[in-house]
Chains A and B, each alone.
Chain A
Amino acid sequence: MAPLAPRTGDAVFANVERVNAELFTLTYGAIVRQLLTDLEEVEEVNKQLDQMGYNIGVRLIDEFLAKSGVSSCVDFRETADVIAKVGFKMFLGVTASVTNWDAEGTSCSLVLDDNPLVDFVELPDTCQGLYYCNILSGVIRGALEMVSMKTEVTWIRDMLHGDDAYELRVKLLKQVPEEYPYKDDE
């Protein structure tokens, strides 16, 4: 047993339950639209999307681990690779590429050329500050936190803002060691 961790998410993607891509895109669009109406401030919507993503991430990680069979990664480089190749494929059906590592190997960029969330989307002038896909950064942050990595995830490039790709910067802040959870009481 202990099969090697898969290098791609294709096999898992083929086996998981999927929803219609357009339904997914439109539902997400409707959520963002509703948030804009409810919260009015674009900044608040960004925060809310991030929080929603985080809540998804903390649960999604278990499904990811259970279905992909990935075991613990040795370092952050491997983690980033697994997110890009297995994670994105499994949940979004696309893969990302990992680039722009810094010298310490603690921050990198995930570049998405294809992003199913943004089909049919155009940002009006009033929403230029909106990170439409901010939910993704929240998901990554939440999921990594559950495997003991505190990270900071920010958008660098966004096609909706006229860039040529989607680029997420993932920065590892610290790894939390496993502590004995109970306090000894004399």
Chain B
Amino acid sequence: MQFFGGSAAAEIAPSPAAPPGTATGLAGNNANMLYIFNRSGVCLLYREWHRPLHTLDAQQDQKLMFGLLFSLRSFTTKIDPTSVDKGNLGVPLLPGQGCSFYSFHTNTYKLSLLESPSGVKVILITHPKTGDMREPLRYIYNIYVEYVVKNPLYVNGTPIKCELFNTNLDQYVKTLI
């Protein structure tokens, strides 16, 4: 059995590639990759700045990432000791129900997540020693609103192909430590 993969795969267009110069891991560039997903699991944006190892093709990689976060949220809610009402594992959660996590780190990287109530997920992978990224993620969400949501040419739920957004995002991410 294939882990992920389904009819939806064909509809997901490949994300725009990172422009030359940004994928080489410039000095002072702390961020590795960024994903933005919408509620229905479409990867609106994948951007990488420093990622020496690619193991999966881009689509599978994105699906895995989304699936990981989806399941983790389910688990974190399940083991929440502070709440009586948590339902069964795997049973769909209502928005606002349960708790949500915002980061985890391993010895080699840190993953930070912002999930807005509207279902937009912003995921940033950085160096493991990075501090609290919730504010930066909010800022990125704001950039997304300014340059993508307010762009009349952008159609909801499609991959982001907006130069101004990419430029601003790159600029901002470079400042992260």
Contact = CB atoms under 8 A, between A and B. Distances in A.
Interface residues of A, number: 30
Contacts of A59: 149-150, 156
A51 to B, nearest CB: 15
A84 B75 CA distance: 34
Contacts of A66: 116, 138, 141-142, 144-145
Interface residues of B, number: 35
B135 A72 contact: no
Contacts of A40: none
Contact of B96 (A72, A180, A181, A182): A72
B120 A62 contact: yes
Nearest to B151: A59
B109 to A, nearest CB: 21
B104 interface: no
Contact of B7 (A71, A146, A185, A186): A185
Interface string A11-55: 000000000000000000000000000000000000000000000
A180 B91 CA distance: 10
B135 A1 contact: yes
Contacts of A70: 117
Contacts of A179: 92
A178 B145 CA distance: 22
A1 B102 CA distance: 12
A147 B156 contact: no
B63 interface: yes
Interface of A: 1-2, 58-59, 61-63, 65-67, 69-74, 146-148, 175, 177-186
Given A148-B119, A180-B41, 7 more contacts: A62-B149, A65-B118, A65-B141, A72-B95, A177-B94, A181-B41, A182-B63
